[in-house]
Structure 1
Amino acid sequence: MSIPKTHPFAFDPTYGMRLEELLAIEPPEEPAGFDAFWEARYLKALDVDPQPMLSVSKLSHPDWHVRDLVYVSTDAFKIGGWLLLPRQGLVKRGLVVGHGYGGRDQPDLNLPVEETAVIFPCCRGLSLSRHPPISENPSWHVLHDIDKRDAYIIGGCVEDIWLAVSTLVTLYPWLSGNIGYSGISFGGGVGAMAIAYDERIDRGHLALPSFGHQPLRLKLPSVGSAQSVQEYQADHGNVLETLRFYDAATAARRIDVPMLTAVALFDPSVAPPCQFAVANAIRKYNEIFILDAGHFDYTGSAEEEAVLRDKIGQFFRVP
């Protein structure tokens, strides 16, 4: 193991916990009405026609046709992103790839998948889906309408993922039931919520998932968006009323498709206990891949990421 020994943070990003302790973390107590809340949102999202619009991108790659994409999400929100189509072979699988809280300025053109149509959506308010007055700064974006349970922006971002799936089904109807999801950090957290209620998604990869075990997320010292939420809670004191309905670990208990979850032992941005709460909640078909650290450069990171990348390629391989 190469868990970082030195770091610039005023707190310990391992929180003094060893692997055995992390693997024992359970999801938090869930609020009454959690399923009804998300099932109603999912049915609403299914009624939306994504009306995808494609255009030739300035980006090019020897293995992929790259298309700029715009589709319609809930609340008539226009979502920008990219669609990759394989230059070789047929389109046999679909994949939606989420992003971290830094957004995305281009698709990952080196994905280890073949014969797959891949959508890279930018969730509402971020990157190609920027929409003032929603802030692109993660520390402000994560607070947008946090005082309104039904309007909190994270719920809209989950719906943006569902509409990305709808876009794939609209463009390639034969992919329904053969669509995967892959997301890191922010994209891992919203991905857990999306997969839990979308039967069209047949497998998922979550890396360093955020939004897990919200009561712990409010308590454990962190940097980035989690710190912003903690500061808001210190000032207002009522944020958990909303956050309990946006808990990736609570949602993950509902996931019953094959999963590959990558979680870190050291992470200043997404506390490891919160990541493991998500991974541990997935009771079936889940492989947990342990990283020494997340959201931090460390010795051995390239080697670990190469091994994980190979696993991701195998995980999403077309049968």
Structure 2
Amino acid sequence: MSIPKTHPFDFDPTYGMRLEELLAVKPPEPPEGFDDFWEARYHKALAVDPQPVLSRSRITHPDWHVLDLVYLSTDAFRIGGWLILPREGEVRRGLVVGHGYGGRDRPDFELPIKETAILFPCCRGLSLSAHPPISQNPSWHVLHDIDKPDSYIIGGCVEDIWLAVSTLTAFYPWLCGHIGYSGISFGGGVGAMAIAYDERIDRGHLALPSFGHQPLRLKLPTVGSAQSVQEYQAEHGNALETLRFYDAATAARRINVPMLTAVALFDPAVAPPCQFAVANAIPKPNEIFILDAGHFDYPGSAEQEAALRDRVGQFFGVP
């Protein structure tokens, strides 16, 4: 274990908690109507025809065909991304890969996965799905319509993931029931909410998942988008009412497929107790992969990330 001993932050990104304490963190109780809220959104999303359009990408790779992709999400929101297809072998699985709050400028070709159609969507307002006046700055994006529980932008981002699954099944109907999801940080939190209600997703990987245990997320010192939410709450006092419906840990209790969750003992951007609240809430089978730190460079990080990448490849292996 090589948890960073020195750092530039004016708070302790371990929050003084050891592994056994983190493994004991429980998710918050759901607000009344939580399941009805998400089930209604899911059925609304299922009714949307994504009308996907593919075109040859300028990005090339020796092992993958790379296609630029546009599809429609809820509220006719235009979502951009990429679909990559293996140059060798059949397409026997599908995978939707989310991104962190920095967005995405190209597919990730380092995933050790074969015979899989991999879709990399950019969630609404970010990267290829930029849409002014929605800000691409995470500190502002995370606040977009936060005072409106029914239209908070994070809900739209979850719907974008569901429509990515619909896009894969539109191209490859036989993949239904053989589609996974993988997401980090922002994409991990959004992914927990998406997987919880989408029966078409058969397994998921969440790394450093955000949006877990919102009451704690509002209290623990942090940097990045969570700090922006804390500042908003301090000024307006009305964020928690919305955020309780967008809690990745609350949603994670509803997940009933195999999961691989990577969580960190030290993280200045996504507090470890909030990450562990997500991981701990997921019913078995749920494998928890422990990282020394997240959102921070540390000795041994390359080795840990390589080991996690190998495990992800095994987890999403062709059935």
TM-score, length-normalised on structure 2? 1.00
Residue 51 of structure 2 aligns with an amino acid whose one-letter code is: Q
Identical-pair percentage? 85
1:82 alignment counterpart: 82
1:316 alignment counterpart: 316
1:215 alignment counterpart: 215
Structure 2 SS opposite 1:191: helix
Structure 2 SS opposite 1:28: coil
CA-CA distance at 1:207 after TM superposition:
0.0
Residue 41 of structure 2 aligns with an amino acid whose one-letter code is: R
What are the equivalent positions in structure 2 for 1:230-249 lying under 5 Å apart?
230-249=230-249
What are the equivalent positions in structure 2 for 1:34-73 lying under 5 Å apart?
34-73=34-73
Question: 2:16 & 2:225 partners in 1: Cα distance?
Answer: 22
Count how many residue pairs are aligned between Structure 1 and Structure 2: 319
Question: 1:29 & 1:136 partners in 2: Cα distance?
Answer: 31
2:289 alignment counterpart: 289
Question: 1:49 & 1:72 partners in 2: Cα distance?
Answer: 7
Residue 7 of structure 2 aligns with an amino acid whose one-letter code is: H
CA-CA distance at 1:205 after TM superposition:
0.1
2:111 alignment counterpart: 111
Residue 239 of structure 1 aligns with an amino acid whose one-letter code is: A
Question: 2:110 & 2:214 partners in 1: Cα distance?
Answer: 33
* Cα-to-partner distance string for 1:267-305 (whole Å, 9 max, x where unaligned): 000000000000000011100000000000000000000
Residue 153 of structure 1 aligns with an amino acid whose one-letter code is: I
1:124 alignment counterpart: 124
Structure 2 SS opposite 1:307: helix
Gaps of 5+ in 2: none
1:5 alignment counterpart: 5
CA-CA distance at 1:188 after TM superposition:
0.1
Residue 178 of structure 2 aligns with an amino acid whose one-letter code is: N
CA-CA distance at 1:29 after TM superposition:
1.4
What are the equivalent positions in structure 2 for 1:248-263 lying under 5 Å apart?
248-263=248-263
CA-CA distance at 1:167 after TM superposition:
0.1
Structure 2 SS opposite 1:48: coil
Residue 232 of structure 2 aligns with an amino acid whose one-letter code is: Y
1:166 alignment counterpart: 166
Structure 2 SS opposite 1:90: coil
Residue 19 of structure 2 aligns with an amino acid whose one-letter code is: L
Gaps of 5+ in 1: none
CA-CA distance at 1:110 after TM superposition:
1.7
Structure 2 SS opposite 1:219: coil
CA-CA distance at 1:111 after TM superposition:
1.3
Residue 143 of structure 1 aligns with an amino acid whose one-letter code is: L
1:30 alignment counterpart: 30
Residue 164 of structure 2 aligns with an amino acid whose one-letter code is: A
Question: 1:180 & 1:239 partners in 2: Cα distance?
Answer: 31
What are the equivalent positions in structure 2 for 1:129-144 lying under 5 Å apart?
129-144=129-144
* Cα-to-partner distance string for 1:93-130 (whole Å, 9 max, x where unaligned): 00000000000010101211000000000000000000
CA-CA distance at 1:238 after TM superposition:
1.2
Question: 2:24 & 2:155 partners in 1: Cα distance?
Answer: 28
Structure 1 SS opposite 2:182: strand
Question: 1:166 & 1:285 partners in 2: Cα distance?
Answer: 25
Question: 1:113 & 1:78 partners in 2: Cα distance?
Answer: 28
Question: 2:181 & 2:197 partners in 1: Cα distance?
Answer: 13
* Cα-to-partner distance string for 1:189-215 (whole Å, 9 max, x where unaligned): 000000000000000000000000000
CA-CA distance at 1:81 after TM superposition:
0.1
Question: 1:20 & 1:284 partners in 2: Cα distance?
Answer: 18
Structure 2 SS opposite 1:26: coil
* Cα-to-partner distance string for 1:145-165 (whole Å, 9 max, x where unaligned): 000000000000000000000
Question: 1:279 & 1:114 partners in 2: Cα distance?
Answer: 27
Structure 2 SS opposite 1:103: coil
Question: 1:99 & 1:285 partners in 2: Cα distance?
Answer: 24
In the TM superposition, structure 1's runs of 4+ consecutive aligned residues that sit over 6 Å from their partners are none
* Cα-to-partner distance string for 1:63-108 (whole Å, 9 max, x where unaligned): 1000000000000000000000000000000000000000001010
Residue 175 of structure 1 aligns with an amino acid whose one-letter code is: L
2:189 alignment counterpart: 189
TM-score, length-normalised on structure 1? 1.00
2:226 alignment counterpart: 226
Structure 1 SS opposite 2:68: strand
Question: 2:61 & 2:157 partners in 1: Cα distance?
Answer: 29
2:92 alignment counterpart: 92
2:176 alignment counterpart: 176
CA-CA distance at 1:35 after TM superposition:
0.2
1:270 alignment counterpart: 270
